[in-house]
Amino acid sequence: MDLRSFVREVPDFPKPGISFKDITPLLTDAGAFAHAVERMAEPVSAMLPTHVLGLESRGFIFGSALAQKMGLGFVPARKPGKLPLPVFQESYGLEYGTDALEIHRDAFKAGDRVLIVDDVLATGGTAAAARRLVESAGAQPLALTLFIELGFLAGRAKLPGLPIFSVLRY
């Protein structure tokens, strides 16, 4: 199945010069979405993760589907102010601004093996913040698995030593 045909390019969104990768067509096709989740799970299943950390917001979609498929717990990494209990917070930069992610302080325990999941790896700032969140909680970040990698933005450089698996690379 050609999964690229389910990704729509939106020029100049969210600002001029950005070519947004819209995954809505993938999500509206049950077979294509299932195939994408299968491809994201293949390289990481043997790593024996205990949890999936899904990054807000589209990482929630892929992350919860992967957690369900693999029989793992799901932890959401949220934008600031969305979680009701004490949190770990990490700031990050992205290609069009800055933001932060938070997880509850009790989301993981020592020895947990965490698979980080997002839809797109761009500059690597979001994924690097997620890695730091996992480490702050005393757990082990195992790998990053995602649907799309924008290789020309060199996001891997911000994640030394972390295995990274992407279904599509642009």
Q: Is 58 a catalytic residue?
A: yes
3-state secondary structure of 112: coil
- Closest by Cα among 84, 27, 126 to 116: 126
Q: Distance between CA 64 and CA 69 in Å, rounded? A: 9
Given 39, 56, 95, 132, the catalytic residue: 95
Given 58, 78, 90, 131, the catalytic residue: 58
Q: Distance between CA 13 and CA 146 in Å, rounded? A: 21
Q: Distance between CA 61 and CA 116 in Å, rounded? A: 13
Q: Is 169 a catalytic residue?
A: no
Q: Distance between CA 38 and CA 24 in Å, rounded? A: 18
Please enumerate in sequence order all residues whose Cβ is within 8 A of that of 162, keeping only pairs 6 or more positions apart, or say none. Answer: 116, 127, 131, 141, 143, 144
Catalytic residues: 58, 95
